[in-house]
Amino acid sequence: MSLLIDGKAYAAEVEGELTKRVEVIREKSGKAPVLATIIVGDNPASVTYVRMKGNACARIGMASLKVEMGKNTTTDELLAKINELNNNPEVCGILLQHPVPEQIDERACFDAISLEKDVDGVNSAGFGLMSMGFPAYVSATPLAILSLLLHYGIEIEGREVVVIGRSAILGKPVAALMLNQNATVTIAHSRTTNLPQVVRRADIVIAAVGKPSFVKADWIKKGAVLIDAGYNKGNKGDIDMENCAAKSSAYTPVPGGVGPVTIAMLMKQTVSAAEKLFGIQ
Ligand code: NAP
């Protein structure tokens, strides 16, 4: 029998704990912590994600400040806005919704978010610190994956983890987190040769490819743990879970797996940032 890793239930548990922490912040500081969300342009998926994050803030008693910028915004304009939010004492966390329109230097903007407010863990200096095992806010989806594995008591140390995908916000940081947990980590990508054979080694497969049902059942070692970070049109993950789940010992569904926990981790890091900013520990 394969265990369904229930991200929705775990996210609700995390939100319950965060609601209590936000209550304490509000009592002691007299203020609701604010997460600033910046959206540039009107990409419908981004609009939905930002709305979901605003709703999550409301559920745990936090405030959100929605900053909407036009699709022709320049890098300098966005940098100026980030700088303003960095210096706004009411704002505890800043989220810049990815992707931004192509004329914008997204990396420069991510790196302009101050480390104290980078609750979505996109700053490359924060990534460096995290990779070295020092405290830093972590990219939310990788943190969600680690938290789910730990919550479900899934052993990581000494196990073969294959991460498929090497993006700056997902594949690379999740690989670093797994390495810091003493896993033996392989990062596969579009130039990897014989991917099915690489994936067959894995005790834990983490799929972060962005292609629906990409990972096939005959790539999966019996008893492997399957973590599907993918989210594609039609509520499809990156793993063909319909056919893969039966071979696994545990798996995350799409939807209801990694996604809800990603938002919960963003909230958790924002609450931590607020506690630090208001001097509440
Ligand atoms: P991305 O930036 O497009 O990166 C995709 C990665 O997959 C790249 O490293 C790419 O390799 C690799 N890849 C592409 N085709 C491949 C192939 N045929 N074989 C092996 N590797 C291949 O995507 P991302 O932002 O990391 O997102 C990945 C998925 O996670 C998407 O479905 C996205 O919607 C989802 N996601 C979910 C959440 C959540 O909250 N659950 C958050 C963020 C993203 P190269 O580097 O060689 O091009």
pLDDT tens-digit map of 171-207: 999 999 999 999 999 999 999 999 999 999 999 999 9
Catalytic option among 53, 81, 117, 172: 53
Three-state DSSP at 156 gives coil
User: Which contacts (CB < 8 Å, 24+ apart) does range 82-85 have?
Assistant: 82/38, 82/109, 82/112, 82/113, 83/112, 85/36, 85/38, 85/117
Considering only CA atoms, which residue is closest to atom 15 of ligand 1? 190
- What is 140-259's CATH superfamily? NAD(P)-binding Rossmann-like Domain (3.40.50.720)
- Reference 142, options 105, 109, 173; nearest CA is 173
Please identify which of the residues 6, 111, 118, 120 carries the catalytic annotation.
120
> Domain 30-114, what fold?
Rossmann fold (3.40.50)
- Which of 190, 214, 262 most suits a substitution to test ligand 1, by most atoms within 8 Å of the C-beta? 190
The yes-or-no answer on residue 53 being catalytic is yes
Looking at residue 1, its pLDDT comes to: 87
Where in the chain are all domains bearing CATH 3.40.50.720?
A: 140-259
The yes-or-no answer on residue 120 being catalytic is yes
| Parts of the chain belonging to CATH 3.40.50.10860 | 30-114
Please state, in angstroms and rounded to a whole number, the distance separating the CA atoms of residues 67 and 38: 5
**Tokens standing for 268?**
């958790």
Token pair 């879970």: residue: 241
| Residue 116 near residue 110, CB atoms below 8 Å | no
Q: Which two tokens stand for residue 203?
A: 């005790």
Residue 281 has a pLDDT of 75
Question: How large a percentage of the chain has pLDDT more than 70?
Answer: 100
d(CA 115, CA 259): 24
Instruction: Give residue 82 CA to ligand 1 midpoint distance, Å.
Output: 26
Could you read off the pLDDT of 66-101 as tens digits, one per residue?
999 999 999 999 999 999 999 999 999 999 999 999
The answer to pTM > 0.75 is: yes
The atom of ligand 1 lying closest to the CA of 230 is 32
